[in-house]
A = this chain, B = another copy of it.
Amino acid sequence: MAQQIPYKIYLSEDEMPKAWYNVRADMKNKPAPLLNPGTLEPMQFDDLRPVFCDELIRQELDNDTAYFEIPEEIRAFYRMYRPSPLVRAYCLEEKLQTPAKIYYKFEGNNTSGSHKLNSAIAQAYYAKQQGLKGLTTETGAGQWGTALSMACAYLGLDLKVFMVKVSYEQKPFRREVMRTYGANVTPSPSNTTNVGRKILEEFPGTTGSLGCAISEAVETAVSTPGYRYVLGSVLNQVLLHQSVIGLEAKAALDKYGIKPDVIIGCAGGGSNLGGLIAPFMGEKLRGEADYEIIAVEPASCPSFTRGRYAYDFCDTGMVCPLAKMYTLGSSFIPSANHAGGLRYHGMSSILSQLYHDGYMTARAVEQTSVFEAAELFARTEGTLPAPESSHAIRAAIDEALKCKQTGEEKTILFGLTGTGYFDLKAYEQYNDGTMTDVIPTDEDLEKGFAGLPKVDK
């Protein structure tokens, strides 16, 4: 008789991963290197030192080492909110009347409300190790800023967060969480930086943008002794840290002898998806197992499904290195009716290469159908999901309904990256029936592509 699978599989603290897994080590085609925007030459260790801390640069540039040991201090922090549960979605299966078996790895049971904390504590730890005084970063809606505030409070590091002014004013709750954890939160653009003052002079009434906030955070890091800049997604180091999600999920499944057929994650910059799929992708790359891996992105910001695979600026301010990725162009901004995250114009270089090489597929889903899935999930499984995570829920439900038609008993694993407690304005639109879908036209996309830098690589 088959062993009864509990609703939630928790690893013991002993069973938690002791090393992060670097999927690049198993990639035949390595992700393309970051390029210096001036020389178009690959960025080297020394080029990156003014901005990032040393150990993180090593992790960023290392395409060969398969495992990086997780320092005990980071593992101690992980034990405060990890292992995260791997949940069998019995109630959702019952509701859908599907023969599919659905599992999700839930990363929302911490105050940052998402998986972002996994990399925040790692980045803060290495900064502390290097003897730095503080960090700077930017945040839009505030998930990343919250996670980093928690990590810096724990380690006693200073933190300056540049928060897009419109969010600072209209979404005061995330701001107050960050302040409670001791972060210095500045609405961007601000008069504390050259770039901020310049923008304020030119556009006195501006409500800010992520691109501007990045520029202010980088300027502050570079010009303040003992400070460095950190980023919560897209980078190779972030995917490395986030591999803890996939390693835990795989260990929990292995305990019960379960092998997923389909693995689904939402994709913005790629940090969650890259982390969830890492060990499974490793097996696939090494030819040890096969998995169907699906990236799910919003139809309003479709970098995988309608983007170009090309070198592009990582930020709208064009101050950062160039990265080769699936991109909509750094000037692309999703329609104003787009709710929640997943609004980044590009995609992790690692995932871009894997997608390009055919190791995973991608699909775009529309906003109202995402919230429909979110509502169904909340009512059956209890947890109110983040809009980002609900992209993965949508695809998981669609796959489960396919199984219902074909009778296949597929095992589906998806990433539930976080909770929607700070996204209730979007839920209100959905509840009121005023939410709409806006999909960029080909002309919209062409405008974004027109701004791609000319790089012959």
Interface positions of A (Cβ within 8 A of B): 6-8, 10, 12-13, 79-81, 91, 109-111, 113, 150, 153-154, 172-173, 176-177, 179-182, 374-375, 378-384, 419, 421-422, 424, 427-428, 430-431
Complex contact A150–B13 (CB within 8 A): no
In the complex where A13-B6, A176-B424 touch, is A382 in contact with B431 (Cβ < 8 A)? no
CB pair A375–B180 under 8 Å, yes or no, is yes
Q: Which 8 A-B pairs have the closest CB atoms?
A: A153-B379, A173-B424, A7-B79, A176-B424, A111-B384, A179-B431, A176-B428, A80-B382
Shortest Cβ distance from A106 into B: residue: B109
Check if A431 sits within 8 Å of B109, measured CB to CB: no
Q: How often does this chain occur in the complex, in copies?
A: 2
Write out the residue numbers on chain B whose beta carbons fall within 8 Å of the beta carbon of A382: 80-81, 110-111, 150, 154
Binding site of A, secondary structure by majority: helix, strand, loop or mixed?
Answer: helix
Given contacts A91-B80, A109-B109, A383-B110, contact A424 B378 (CB under 8 A): no
A13, A81, A382: which has the most chain B beta carbons within 10 Å?
A: A382
Bound: A374/B181 CA distance, A: 11
Closest to A13 in B: B6
Which B residues lie within 8 Å of A91 (CB)? 80, 154
Q: Which residue of B lies closest to A117 (CB)?
A: B382
Would you mind naming 16 contact pairs between A and B with Cβ atoms under 8 Å apart? Answer: A6-B13, A110-B382, A111-B384, A113-B421, A150-B378, A150-B382, A154-B379, A176-B428, A176-B431, A177-B427, A179-B427, A180-B375, A180-B378, A180-B379, A180-B427, A421-B422
How far apart are A369's CB and chain B's nearest CB, in angstroms? 16
CA of A383 to CA of B113, assembled, Å: 10
Q: CB-CB < 8 A to A154: which residues of B?
A: 91, 379-380, 382
Query: Contact: B176 with A427, CB < 8 Å?
Result: yes
CB-CB < 8 A to A427: which residues of B?
Answer: 176-177, 179-180
Q: For the complex, give the distance between the alpha carbons of A172 and B424 in Å.
A: 8
Contact of A13 among B7, B12, B177, B421 (CB under 8 A): B7
A260: min CB distance to chain B, Å? 21
With known contacts A7-B13, A8-B79, A378-B180, A111–B383 Cβ distance under 8 A:
yes
Q: Could you tell me if B428 and A381 are in contact, using CB atoms closer than 8 angstroms?
A: no
Q: Write out the residue numbers on chain B whose beta carbons fall within 8 Å of the beta carbon of A422.
A: 421
Chain B residue numbers with a CB within 8 Å of A424 are: 172-173, 176-177
- Asked whether B378 lies within 8 Å of A428 as measured between CB atoms, the reply is no
Residues of B within 8 A of A150 (CB): 378, 382
A180 to B177, CA, bound (A): 24
